[in-house]
Amino acid sequence: MNIAFFYALTGVGLFTLGVYALIVYTHLLRKILAINVMGSGVFLVLVALAARTQNAPDPVPHAMVITGIVVAISATALALALMLRLRDASNHIELPDESVE
């Protein structure tokens, strides 16, 4: 197994960590952090699989990941604005915990 697969597995681990934190935590800012970690994991998988070539890496996933990073920060900015607005409107920063009733 060459090193690209190790990074791909790290990406899978990051994605799973992000999903866990997204589901478990009720604080909205933590959820936004979790989504960013998930995004980073996905990008790592993409670029790691693109590095499997003989000499130069495949540039198309690189371009997609650069686009993805910019889209991720736009989504994060919008999500943060939504979170602040939600807190102003409802005075709660956590989603109600309805998992156990």
Partner 1 sequence: MTLLQWTFDIVLGLTLLWLAFRALTSEDLFKGIVLFIAFGLLMALAWVRLNAPDIALAEAAIGAGLTGALLLAALAKLESATTETSATVKDENAEGLNSKSSEAQSHD
Partner 2 sequence: MTKHINKQILFRLLLVLLLSVLAVGLGYSVLSLPLEASGLSARVTENLDASGVSHPVTAVLLNFRAYDTLLEMAVLLLALLGVWSLGDMHEHRESAPGVVLDMLSRLLIPLFVLVAGYLLWIGANAPGGAFQAGSVLAAAGVLMLLTGWRPSVWFMGLPLRITLVFGLVAFVTAAVMVQLAGWRMLEFPLSVAGALILLIEAAATLSIGITLAALFLGSRPPTDQATGKRTGPGAKK
**Residues at the site binding partner 1, with contacts judged by CB under 8 A:** 2-4, 6-7, 9-10, 13-14, 17-18, 21, 24-27, 29-30, 32-34, 36-37, 40, 43-44, 47-48, 50-51, 56-57, 62, 65-66, 69-70, 72-73, 76-77, 80, 83-84, 87-88, 91-94, 96-97, 100
Q: Which residues contact 17 (CB under 8 A, 6 or more apart)?
A: 37, 41
Residue 19 interacts, among partner 2, partner 1, none and using kind-specific CB cut-offs from 5 to 8 Å, with partner 2
- Please give the span between the terminal C-alpha atoms of the chain, in angstroms, as a whole number: 47
* Amino acid sitting at position 24: V
In the bound complex, what is the minimum distance in angstroms from residue 4's beta carbon to partner 2?
A: 9
Pick between residue 3 and residue 92 the one whose CB is nearest to partner 2.
3
Residue 43 CB coordination number (10 Å): 19
DSSP one-letter code for 91: S
